[in-house]
Amino acid sequence: MPAFFPDCRLDAGASRPADALTLPPLQEGAWATPAFHAIRRPVAVLAPFAPPSRPALPQEVLRAWREAFGEDPPAALLDALPYTRFACPFSPRPISAGAAVAILALWRRTAAQNRQIGSFLGMAGWKQAAITSAFGPAHFAKNPAAALARPGKVLAWASSLTPAAEAAAGERLWRVEDGFIRSLGLGVNFAPAASLVVDPLGMHYDPARPSQLEKILTETDFSPALLARAAALRARITAANITKYNLAEPLLPLPATPGRRRILVVGQVEDDASIRHGAGRVRSNAQLLAAARAAEPQAFLIYKPHPDVQTGYRRGYLPTREARRHADMVVTSGDIGRLLAQMDALHSITSLAGFEALLRGVAVTSWGAPFYAGWGLTDDREPPPRRGRRLSLDALVAACLILYPRYQDPLTLLPCTPELLLDRLAEPARWPPLPPARRAYLAWWRLQGQWLKCARATGLWRR
């Protein structure tokens, strides 16, 4: 409550001041917030007994309410603005009326979407607590038939779906995957996702059919205000060096390459869904390196394998001696954001690193059909079908980081904006640790991964 009343002392025994406002009839529904995790957090408080604060301008609230809900607010809500206080539910500080309306709209949209879900399908056991936290309680079905036996939408982990399951679920199927600013740490090491995408049409990594992201990119009239917000978000991401996994790994100094363009070639998990669906003629890390060298014979090529592959658990390992057939240097660890800052260009098949490179002004050559290709921002060697609208970089950012994903504050577990998630990523020490049992299992998991890496390096095991 102090965040609502930073300018006065709260006293439960105080008498009503003579000049206190007699509030007009106003039902709680106007400012009522939905409950998440059985808790309601207010964004606005009517305080007739508190000294009037500097009131929000009715026009500001009117404009924000119309933009958020498509209708005018109740007249009594505008009349009560002089005695309405607004506070941020994520940190103890006052906020503007417009910000409160935006949070309220975000929460109501999220709650309305969550209410439509009847069952979850294809969720790995370690993800189930995080899925419940993000979407609320629902039945975890063991198979498509069990999921479809319950009313409501079936929320399925997209990469686990079979064609038969998709056909059976039809329009009841919603697909979910990790968002593009995911977490502190790798998913393969059980770090929970703070960003998810829900797609009722397809999935962003599958160019064979439209996805909700493609629909947004194709049809949205990006307003100046939205583009300005995207530009500010992009500036924050690059200034703070935000990436998908935000791995704080040291990066070894790169050698000087006078007269040669530095090009980063990023490896991928070779059985990942984005490769299965989005790759064309170039489908492996070895083929990508060969294609990059053929396209850039004089460049200084730096190959960086995917961090999931480096754990030992995912497919796509390329021995250093094979990578050096085409690459001048192999970098097996290090912060990719800092690496991109030293590059002239990047080559990838469908890697998210291509999108991260675009954010940093690095030229991107795409050998597959990732979500960021086909909009006039990349050199596309396998042009995606259907696309062709030329977009600005900020329009791409607005679609991919603001309109398409949903975010969850790792501290309060409330739905939040991408800007709030960036605030949290700046304070990694505040993120909750993994449960003790998960941490103990992770120690063994990493040890086994190291053994698998040694087995691969010596040729005992290939993956």
Q: In the chain, what are the domain boundaries?
A: 28-111, 243-388, 433-463
Provide DSSP, 256-271: P-TTS-EEEEE---TT
Percent of the chain with pLDDT over 70: 88
What is the residue type of 134? A
> What are all long-range contacts of 101-106, with beta carbons under 8 Å and residues at least 24 apart?
101/61, 101/64, 101/65, 101/68, 102/64, 102/68, 102/417, 103/43, 104/31, 104/33, 104/43, 104/44, 104/68, 105/68, 105/69, 106/415, 106/416, 106/417
Task: Report the first-to-last Cα separation within the chain, whole angstroms.
Answer: 56
82 within 8 A of 46, measured Cβ to Cβ:
no
Q: What is the pLDDT of residue 13?
A: 57
Say how far apart CA 192 and CA 410 lie, in whole Å: 9
- Span 365-384, mean pLDDT? 97
R_g of the chain, CA atoms, integer Å: 25
- Cβ neighbors of 125 (< 8 A, separation 6 or more) are none
Confidence of residue 16 (pLDDT cuts 50, 70, 90): low
Confidence of residue 201 (pLDDT cuts 50, 70, 90): very high
- Cβ neighbors of 27 (< 8 A, separation 6 or more) are 74
Confidence of residue 460 (pLDDT cuts 50, 70, 90): low
Say how far apart CA 23 and CA 455 lie, in whole Å: 73
Q: Give the residue from 385, 355, 381, 361 showing the smallest Cα distance to 287.
A: 381
For residue 310, is pLDDT > 70?
A: yes
- Higher model confidence: residue 11 or residue 207? 207
Q: What is the pTM of this model?
A: 0.90
Average pLDDT, the chain: 89
Confidence of residue 152 (pLDDT cuts 50, 70, 90): very high
- Higher model confidence: residue 70 or residue 435? 70
Q: Give the residue from 342, 364, 361, 362 showing the smallest Cα distance to 351.
A: 364
Confidence of residue 344 (pLDDT cuts 50, 70, 90): very high
300 within 8 A of 257, measured Cβ to Cβ:
yes
Q: What is the pLDDT of residue 361?
A: 97
CA 267 to chain centre: 21
Q: What is the pLDDT of residue 405?
A: 98
Range in 70-84, 126-140, 416-430 the model is least confident about:
70-84
- Span 133-160, mean pLDDT? 95
Q: Is the dihedral of CA 364, 367, 373, 377 positive or negative?
A: positive
249 within 8 A of 335, measured Cβ to Cβ:
yes
Whole-number Cα distances in Å, 395 to 226, 280, 337: 8, 26, 21
Confidence of residue 250 (pLDDT cuts 50, 70, 90): confident
265 within 8 A of 327, measured Cβ to Cβ:
yes
Which CATH topology does 243-388 take?
Answer: Rossmann fold (3.40.50)
What is the residue type of 203? M
